[in-house]
Amino acid sequence: MSNPLFSMLDKICVITGGSRGLGKAMATAFLNAGAKRVYVTARKPHECAQTAEELSALTESGECIGLPGDMSSADDIKAFVDEIASRESHVDVLVNNAGAAWVASIDEFPEKGWDKVMDLNVKTPFFLTQQLLPLLRAGGSAENTASVINIGSIAGMLGNAGGGLSYSVSKTAIHQLTRNLANLLADDHIRVNAIAPGRFHSKMTSTVEQDREQYEREIKMIPLHRWGSDEDIMGPALLLASNAGAFMTGGIITVDGGYMVV
């Protein structure tokens, strides 16, 4: 790594929802910056295995390890943390990236849609962070802090959720959880920040992308006139995970092509 500020040399990282999309992009960035091991988890075992094999081939010094599991399940969270603890004495970086969405009209929005989104997008990040605290505390020091990165959304800052009501509410909640955890964990040398993406190319947004009329309308509304790509999430993630972000905690960084300033 040419700039030591952004080095991830020898760091142990954990990323939920890491088998594809933004999670896979961040795992790639960490390994390319020198991370020693990056653990990724997702519900589908074959996707975890494929991603782990692909990303492990990126460098000779780093390794990606896939540990499949359903992070909306308390039992699976515990099993995942127990497995990490059996392998590592500490964790340097946790990225709470796994998420879900549900779209329905306000008159027909079901309880199961509300609960599914709130559980995975809000409850899981809290309890996974809570259970990993011993390893995060072991990885943090005044000179080299541990880092928790929550993935929020500009949907949690706007009032135009449409049919994605529970999603936008969950992202507002994860932003506030980020601020509260940053305050609570600062003395433990654990920094907590959030990235709030705008539109990115992903499985979750594929239906919008296929509607060319809506897609073109959105492109016109974004000052940079495009959606985000994998590379656009890598830089902010490296900033928050490395010593380059050592004086940053409690922040919500928008990565949206300027949409929030319109």
Name the residues annotated as catalytic. Answer: 167
Q: How far is CA 203 from the centre of its chain?
A: 15
What is the distance between the alpha carbons of residues 172 and 98, in angstroms, rounded to a whole number? 16
What type of residue sits at position 19?
A: S
Asked if residues 77 and 126 have their Cβ atoms less than 8 Å apart, the reply is no
Give the H or E element holding residue 86: helix 74-87
Distance, CA of 76 to CA of 69 (rounded, Å): 6
> Is there a contact between 38 and 46 (Cβ–Cβ < 8 Å)?
no
Maximum alpha-carbon separation in the chain: 54
**Segments of 109-227 assigned E as strands:** 146-151, 190-197
Pairwise CA distance, residues 243 & 247, whole Å: 8
Residue 10 DSSP SS3: coil
Helix, strand and coil in the chain, % to nearest 5:
50, 15, 35
Helix, strand, or coil (residue 15):
strand
How many whole angstroms from its chain centre is CA 211?
26
